[in-house]
Amino acid sequence: MPSPKAKNPGRSSGGSPVLGSSYDFMSLTKPLNRSPPPHLLQRQGSDPTTARLRASESPTRRRGSSSSTGSAGGQGPPEEDGIRLNPSLIRVALSSLLAIDLWMSKRLGVCACEDSSWGSVRPLMKLLEISGHGIPWLVGAAYCLYKSDSVAGQEVMLNLLLGLLLDLILITIAKTVVRRRRPAHNRMDMFATFSVDRYSFPSGHATRAALCGRFLLAHLVLAAPLRVLVLLWVCLVGLSRVFLGRHHVTDVLFGFWMGYCQYNLVELLWLSPQTLQGLLGQLV
C-alpha cells in the first residue's frame, strides 16, 4: 500500500486553519490597531488617515481619558475652594460676639417703648439722655467760659469746650465710617438729632459721659459724695442708651473706652488762655 500522505498540520480536515498553527499565532499577536483594508475604506467613504486615527484609539485610552475628565468635573470641589470655604477662627469668634451683642441688646431694651416691661421708667431714661447730649454741654461750657473771672477757671472751661468739640468731630467720623444701624426696636424720638445720628456705633452719649466724667473728677475739687454721683451719672447714661434701645451693648462699651482715651488726648493738647491768644494773634 502506498504510504499515506503527510497531512498539513496547519489545516484541519475542513480546510480551515488550526488554532495552534503559526499562521493563527501570528495573526493573534499582531497589534489590534492595524489599518483596515483599502476596500473597506472605500466602502465607508472615509479618509485613510482619519480611519487610522480612529482605529488607533484603544478602549484603554478612552477609558483613561474619561476617568481623567470625570475626576476633573467631579462633584467634590477643588482643594483650594474647599480650603476657602472653611471659616477662620477669627471670623467665627466675631460672628459669635455679634450674635451675643444683638441678643443682649434686645433683651436689655426694656424701655424701648411705653409697652415694654419697664415702660414707666422711660421718661427718666430720656432725662438722662438729655443730660448726656452734646448741645447742653457745649452751651454750658461756653457760658461758664464767658462768665468766669479767674484765669484758672477760663483755662479749665476752655479745654473742656475744646474737648467737647473734639468729641463731636471724632464721633461724626467714626459713625460715618462704620455706618452701623441702630437696633430694630429703637424709636427715633431723640432730642435734637442730626443726619449722622441714624448710625449707632459708637455711642456719642457714652463717649461724652466718660470724657466729662474724667474731666470733672480731675480738674474740679469735689467732695467724696459728689465724686460718687459723677461716676453714677456716667454709668446711668450708658445704661440708658441700651435700655431705650438707642444703641447696642458694644456701642456703649466702645464709647466709654473712646471717651477715656479722648481725655488723655485733651490733656496732651492742653491749652492755656495765653497760648490760645497767641495762636489767634498769629492767625489774624
CA 205: distance to chain centroid? 26
Question: One of 39, 133, 185, 205 is an active-site residue; which one?
Answer: 205
Nearest to 249 by CA among 191, 200, 187: 200
| 29 grid coordinates | 499577536
Neighbours of 167 (CB within 10 A): 25
Question: One of 133, 185, 247, 248 is an active-site residue; which one?
Answer: 247
- The DSSP code sequence of 100-165 is HHHHHHHHH-TTSSTTSTTGGGHHHHHHHHHHT-HHHHHHHHHHHHHH--SHHHHHHHHHHHHHHH
Neighbours of 45 (CB within 10 A): 6
Residue 205 known to be catalytic: yes
Residue 248 known to be catalytic: no
**CB-count burial class (<10 Å; 0-12, 13-18, 19+) for 74:** exposed
Sign for the pseudo-dihedral over CA of 18, 22, 25, 31: negative
**CB-count burial class (<10 Å; 0-12, 13-18, 19+) for 159:** buried
CA distances from 129 to 11, 82, 133, 191, 271 (A): 115, 50, 6, 8, 30
Neighbours of 187 (CB within 10 A): 13
CB 210 within 8 A of CB 164: no
Backbone φ and ψ of 9, nearest 5°: -70, -20
| 130 grid coordinates | 438729655
User: So which residues are the catalytic ones?
Assistant: 205, 247
